[in-house]
Chain A
Amino acid sequence: MAEKFIHFKIKRQDGPNAYAYWEEFKMPYSPAHNVVSCLMYLREHPVNINGDRVEPVVWDSNCMEEVCGACSMIINGTPRQACSALIDELEQPITLEPMTKFPLIRDLMVDRSRMFEALMKIKAWIPVDGSWDIHRHAPLISPNEQSVRYIFSRCMTCGCCMEACPQFHPDSKFIGPAPIGQAKLHNSHPTGKFFKEDRLHVLMDEGGITDCGNAQNCIKVCPKDIPLTDAIGEIGRQTTMQWLRDMFVK
């Protein structure tokens, strides 16, 4: 019986301004591999399909359980997490490409800081209620509300929604779907609400909610099944109300 292989076709680039090229690798098959564990094997055995020893492929990863968002890449055409991409479920040759919407550092590694800056812009946190005893219990949240909010809290800022969004690209100011989801999440929190108006004003600026084109690709590719289009609709409603408040109440 012929030996089984795992066959990769990887889009590589030696640096931010270098040319991109495809390189193929074949490694011995063993069951239950995922893309990150394969890349680890290729790091130890950086030999391409022609038998040449090459520079190991560079990629980013951390948690290995699809919660940190670091190992996003385009696997067989779909943006997703490399750690949860199981080899046994993928068609071969497996193509790996870096995400295209973020500045490329090297090979499969991109600079995701634009997303973290967006989270800071929309104040994606809740104010601490005090480092001293404030003589009050934590605010109550209904189980219903909690279950809706929990789904949004699973966002790991992986960037898959932005990779698939036609309105998000290096030349656009669009903040992207994930931070809009986080704005909805934090606006619905009893103390997170204190910053609601600030968040809405950021999302009413250039690159905010109005730059969404309603292609709704975000919800299709989100690895955590976050209903991002609900958040976009909800923030659309909240900004409409904020706009009216700004016009008539202020």
Chain B
Amino acid sequence: MAEAIADLGDRSDPYHFLVRRLHSLTGIVPVGVFLCIHLSINASILAGPNAFQFAVNQIHNLSRLGILQVVEVLFIILPILYHAVVGVLIYLSGKPNLVNYQYGGNVRYVLQRWTGIITIFFILTHLWHVHWIIPGGAEFNADDAAASVVQAMAAGWTAPIYAIGVLCAVFHFANGIWTFLISWGITVGPRSQMLSGRVCIIIGLILGLLGVAALIRIKTMDLATMPQGADEAQAAHVAGGTEVH
């Protein structure tokens, strides 16, 4: 009897289950949540440059508290890195057979893998393009959010690349919610999986629309008519009611 007490079975890899389930979970929390926040903040530009600056300030208030980078590393970079590494291993473990079996589920299986891989390349491009990783890209300036974004996104290649990247990330997330619910045993039967599928379609459509609408707005904005420079941005900031000095 004593042997049975701590017995977790004779496993070849005791961490396999944990690694795979954490992969599934990190896709929703925090990575999926981050995607929702990111796309929502992007979409605030639909209400004008000042609203966008206000939204960006909400996030960058964290840097005034000195925890923005901690949050970025712990809740964004590390989880994405983990999700990507394990995801590539999962991608390599399958042998897609869409040619022989053209069922909806099998199409989503293949799309889930392709969109994941495309999203990895897109994130790397995005980091190079507007962040600090490698010099040579455009700079996003949090104190001059709208103008610096419009400037960074001025190049012609950004429209198709960002549209593809955002839509792939959104599909991967929406379909990932559906598989997450199955993997964890939340939706078991066909009826519940059909219903959760519908909810995931709606989530995907909303996020996709937000992403693409923000992209179109940014590409059609005129630099000359928006508040520019730190002074005006600061004015917008104060007007937005988030004074922290």
Is B189 a contact partner of A250 (Cβ separation < 8 A)?
A: no
| B225 within 8 Å of A (CB atoms) | no
With A206-B16, A239-B17 in contact, is A215–B109 under 8 Å at CB? yes
Q: How many residues of B contact A (CB 8 A)?
A: 37
Task: Report the minimum CB–CB distance from B108 to chain A (whole Å).
Answer: 8
Identify which of B40-48, B76-84, B97-105, B216-224 touches chain A.
Answer: B97-105
Task: Report the minimum CB–CB distance from B12 to chain A (whole Å).
Answer: 5
When distances are taken between beta carbons in the complex, the residues of chain B under 8 Å from A229 are 182, 190, 193
Interface of A is mostly: helix
When distances are taken between beta carbons in the complex, the residues of chain B under 8 Å from A227 are 189-190
Of the residues A202, A221, A240, contact of B185 by C-beta under 8 Å: A240
With A201-B11, A215-B106, A229-B190 in contact, is A164–B17 under 8 Å at CB? no
When distances are taken between beta carbons in the complex, the residues of chain A under 8 Å from B5 are 250
Closest to A201 in B: B9
| B94 within 8 Å of A (CB atoms) | yes
| A56 within 8 Å of B (CB atoms) | no
Interface 1/0s, chain B 172-190, versus A by CB < 8 A? 0000001100111111111
Closest to B19 in A: A210
With A204-B9, A233-B185 in contact, is A217–B106 under 8 Å at CB? yes
| A192 within 8 Å of B (CB atoms) | no
Closest to B96 in A: A166
Closest to A227 in B: B190
Task: Report the minimum CB–CB distance from B103 to chain A (whole Å).
Answer: 5
Q: Classify chain A's interface size.
A: 35 or more
Is B9 a contact partner of A172 (Cβ separation < 8 A)?
A: no
- Which parts of B26-68 form the interface with A (CB within 8 Å)? none
| B21 within 8 Å of A (CB atoms) | yes
With A167-B94, A216-B103, A221-B101 in contact, is A206–B184 under 8 Å at CB? no
- Which parts of A161-184 form the interface with B (CB within 8 Å)? 164, 166-167, 169, 172
CA distance A238 to B186 in the complex (A): 10
Of the residues A198, A216, A237, A250, contact of B105 by C-beta under 8 Å: A216
Is B97 a contact partner of A166 (Cβ separation < 8 A)?
A: yes
Is B105 a contact partner of A217 (Cβ separation < 8 A)?
A: yes
When distances are taken between beta carbons in the complex, the residues of chain B under 8 Å from A241 are 185
CA distance A135 to B212 in the complex (A): 71
Interface 1/0s, chain B 82-98, versus A by CB < 8 A? 00000000100111110
Is A205 a contact partner of B13 (Cβ separation < 8 A)?
A: yes
Is B185 a contact partner of A214 (Cβ separation < 8 A)?
A: no
| A246 within 8 Å of B (CB atoms) | yes
Is B105 a contact partner of A205 (Cβ separation < 8 A)?
A: no
| A88 within 8 Å of B (CB atoms) | no
CA distance A217 to B100 in the complex (A): 11
Task: Report the minimum CB–CB distance from A71 to chain B (whole Å).
Answer: 20
Is B188 a contact partner of A230 (Cβ separation < 8 A)?
A: yes
Interface 1/0s, chain A 214-236, versus B by CB < 8 A? 11110011000001011011111
When distances are taken between beta carbons in the complex, the residues of chain B under 8 Å from A236 are 182-185, 188
Is A238 a contact partner of B193 (Cβ separation < 8 A)?
A: no
When distances are taken between beta carbons in the complex, the residues of chain B under 8 Å from A250 are 5-6, 8
Is A206 a contact partner of B13 (Cβ separation < 8 A)?
A: yes
Interface 1/0s, chain A 81-103, versus B by CB < 8 A? 00000000000000000000000
Is B100 a contact partner of A237 (Cβ separation < 8 A)?
A: no
| B198 within 8 Å of A (CB atoms) | no
Q: Which A positions have Cβ atoms within 8 angstroms of B?
A: 77, 164, 166-167, 169, 172, 197-198, 201-202, 204-206, 208, 210-217, 220-221, 227, 229-230, 232-241, 243, 246, 250
Among all A-B residue pairs, the 7 with the closest Cβ atoms: A237-B185, A201-B9, A233-B188, A216-B105, A210-B20, A215-B109, A236-B185
The 30 listed contacts between A and B (C-beta, < 8 Å) are A77-B100, A166-B97, A167-B93, A169-B95, A202-B9, A205-B11, A205-B12, A206-B16, A210-B17, A210-B20, A211-B20, A211-B93, A212-B183, A214-B182, A215-B105, A215-B106, A215-B108, A216-B103, A216-B109, A227-B190, A230-B189, A233-B182, A233-B193, A234-B185, A236-B182, A236-B183, A236-B185, A239-B17, A243-B17, A243-B18
Q: Which B positions have Cβ atoms within 8 angstroms of A?
A: 5-6, 8-9, 11-13, 16-18, 20-21, 90, 93-97, 100-101, 103, 105-106, 108-109, 178-179, 182-190, 193
